[in-house]
Every structure is written in C-alpha cells, then in structure tokens.
Amino acid sequence: MPDPSLQRREWSPIVWVTLPLIPVTTCLIGTVCGASTAAVALCLPQVAIGAWVWGWIWGLVLSLLSYAGWFLPVLAGKVPVSAVDHDSAIICAAVAAAFGMTVARLRQSFEEAYAIAGTDPLTGLLNRNSFYDRIRSEANRGGRNGVTVTIAFIDCDNFKAFNDTRGHVAGDELLMTVAQILKGSVRSYDAVSRMGGDEFAILFPELPAEAADATVARVHSRLKAVAYTRSWNVSFSIGAVVFPQPGHAALMLDLADAEMYAVKKAGKDHYRVLILPDSNIPSVDRPEGHVRPSDRVSDAPPRPRGGRSPTERAGDIPQEAGIATN
C-alpha cells in the first residue's frame, strides 16, 4: 500500500493546475456555451483531486472558484449579469462543495486505515511492512539523486530472560520505553520501526557517512543510560550500514541485520557501523529477507567503525550477508 503522505507530495502540482482550470471550465462551458450540466460534471473531478490531496478546505476553495467562473464573462464585459444562469452557478458550487467534503472524508478514512495497518500496536512505531516500504521509497529516491541512506538494526540483549523474570508487563514497558528513546534520538524525517519481538530498526535518509558513527553511538549511549537508570538487566547491540548508493530494500535490511548479529557474536552491548564503498547494490526487488550469494556488494573491503580495530571488525563481516571481502 503506498504511503498517503508521499502520494500527497506527488499529486500537489496537479492541484495547482485546478486553480485556473475550474473557473475557466464554468466560464466557457457554463456561461458561454450554456451547458450547465456539462459544466458541473467537468468541475467535480477537479474538485475531487483538490479535496483528496489537500483536504476539505481546498475542496471548498475550488467550489467557490467554480461559482466565480460563471461570472468571468460579466467581469470581462462580454455579457450582462442577467445572461448568467444564477441557479446553475449555485447548484454547481453546492454540489462541488458537497462532493469535495465527501472525498476529503474518504481520504481521511484511508489515511487512518493506513496508519493502523502500518503501525505496531504496542509501541506506535512503524511495523516491519511499513518500514520496508519506507526503505524502498528512500532507496529509489537516493538512487535517483545520489543520496546516502543508513539503516541501523537494534536488538535488546537478554530480553527473554528479563521478560521471564520481571513479567510481560515489565517487558512491554521496556519495549515502549525503548521506542520512545529511539524516536527522541532521531530527526523528524527518520523512520523508526519495531521489526518484531525485541528488535528495532532506524532508517536515516541523507545522513552523511561521516556522521553515521556519532549518530549510532548517541543512540546506543541513550539506550544504555536508560537501562542503567531503571536497573534493567539488559543491553543493546546495534549494527548499522551506510549505503552511498542504495539498492533494493531486502538486501539493505539483510546487511544491517548481519552487522547487528556480528555485534552480538562479538560479545553484545556495543555498536558497529559499516560504511560501504561506492558500489552497485542490486536494485532488483526480491522477496524480503532473501539474499543470493551471487549478489555481491563490492570487491573492495568495507570500512567498519565502532568498538574494535578495523582489522578485527572487517574479519567479522559475514560472507552470507552478500559482502565479498579480500
């Protein structure tokens, strides 16, 4: 399901076209040609577009413009006021306003349903499917504009033991607190998701590669601080990958996930950032979570950061993640 907010931006140029088009329609079809029914019929789709994209206020504005259009020949001195079909002008505006309100309400219902379907019920974060859609959208945009995309995977270490010892209520509270910390640690246009269980992920569009390490370190530090403050016997492992040339979403997710598991394998409670060199990441969509061994990101060694020496970190990069190292 496409993101309504993205659709809104894509359709907005069309809405501006309706500003002059609606009064011209009622002027030429309604007053000049005298085809009242045709004028109303042609106005409704234009009002619907405005109401769908910008809401009922825009639909009301366009309906008023449709009414004003009937009197444009009068303002131009071409016809007298008596030549204008006032009843048809009023009916046209009223029908357009009612139609615009209906379309706007339909759009609102659509967005509410989209939000519910794409949100994790416990934390209010994006769920896995919505997060995957956001990655695809940002990867496509990054591929066109040459924008760097960073994905970070976060896992709560020892969460199962914590949940078994403290109970599910305490476990839910931990997850909700982690969600709040993550949301408060990122920019307004970053995307935070609960991927399932005790795993979270963050999408950082347009995050410079040189800032990735500090950004991930800040997130890890805040999570560690709240765990210490609340005496939670848990820690957090974070793996992040910087993609200078984003590719398809499934491979990007798998690479970030592999980095997180590399941190857990190395002892947990740390973070690492893998900065991929400029490379041709495959852009062919495949089912999520599937990475073929032949899909190599680059033959050049990546540059990981955080935690240990570059040589040690590079040695932990799993081959099954799709990275060829020398």
Is residue 290 a part of any domain in this protein? yes
Is residue 281 a part of any domain in this protein? yes
Amino acid (1-letter code) at residue 194:
R
Q: What is the per-residue pLDDT for 316?
A: 40
Matching residue, tokens 């973070």: 271
Residue that terminates a domain, selected from 52, 87, 117: 117
Residue that terminates a domain, selected from 117, 146, 179: 117
* CA distances (Å), origin 292, targets 102, 121, 140, 254, 320: 48, 33, 21, 11, 8
Is residue 175 a part of any domain in this protein? yes
Residues 252/139, Cβ–Cβ less than 8 Å: yes
Residues 163 and 205 in one domain: yes
CA distance 48 to 28: 20
Is residue 20 a part of any domain in this protein? yes
Amino acid (1-letter code) at residue 63:
S
Residues 60 and 166 in one domain: no
Residues 25 and 148 in one domain: no
Residues 145 and 271 in one domain: yes
Ramachandran quadrant class, 293 (left: phi over 0; alpha: psi -120 to 50; beta: rest):
alpha
Residues 105 and 137 in one domain: no
Q: What is the per-residue pLDDT for 109?
A: 86
Residues 82 and 161 in one domain: no
Is residue 265 a part of any domain in this protein? yes
Is residue 297 a part of any domain in this protein? yes
Residues 109 and 151 in one domain: no
CA distance 255 to 270: 17
Q: What is the CATH number of the domain that holds 272?
A: 3.30.70.270
Give me the residues of the chain with pLDDT under 50, please: 1-2, 4-7, 9, 280, 282-326
Number of domains comprising the chain: 2
Residues 105 and 156 in one domain: no
> Tens digits of per-residue pLDDT, 18-49?
778 888 888 888 888 888 888 888 888 888 88
Residues 113 and 134 in one domain: no
Is residue 326 a part of any domain in this protein? no
Q: What is the per-residue pLDDT for 15?
A: 67
pTM (2 decimals)? 0.61
Residue that terminates a domain, selected from 117, 138, 165: 117
* Domain membership of residue 295 as a residue range: 128-321
Residues 105 and 40 in one domain: yes
Residues 135 and 80 in one domain: no
Is residue 122 a part of any domain in this protein? no
Residues 220 and 101 in one domain: no
Two structure tokens written together for 221: 């530090």
Q: What is the per-residue pLDDT for 120?
A: 92
Helix residue ranges per DSSP H, the chain? 4-25, 36-54, 56-69, 72-75, 86-117, 128-145, 159-166, 168-184, 209-229, 249-265, 310-315
